[in-house]
Structure 1
Amino acid sequence: MREKVKEALEKIRPFLQRDGGDVELVDVDDNGVVKVKLRGACGG
């Protein structure tokens, strides 16, 4: 599951970076809950 989430984030990362932001994968728990940290322009 974690690898699939990473792949999905890599697909959207260029769009976020284009606007001055980024995304970091924090955790994927056993229930499939994904936690990310938005950075830069996306942080708010």
Structure 2
Amino acid sequence: MREKVEEVLNKIRPALQRDGGDVELVDVSADGVVKVRLKGACGG
């Protein structure tokens, strides 16, 4: 499951990076809860 989540994050990462941000996968629990850390600037 972690690999699938990473694949999806890699698809959206370029858009976040163009806006000065990024996303980091923190954890994927056994029951499917995904925790991410948003980094960088937000425009609004």
The whole-number CA distance in structure 2 between the counterparts of 1:18 and 1:41 is 10
Count of aligned pairs: 42
- Structure 1 counterpart of 2:23: 23
Provide TM-score, normalisation by structure 1: 0.92
Could you tell me the percent identity over the aligned residues?
79
Q: Radius of gyration: which is bigger?
A: 2
Unaligned runs of 5+ in 2: none
Aligned: 1:11 with 2:11: yes
Displacement, 1:26?
0.1
Give runs of ≥4 in structure 1 deviating > 2 Å: none
Unaligned runs of 5+ in 1: none
Give the RMSD, CA atoms, in angstroms: 0.7
Provide TM-score, normalisation by structure 2: 0.92
Letter in 1 for 2:4: K
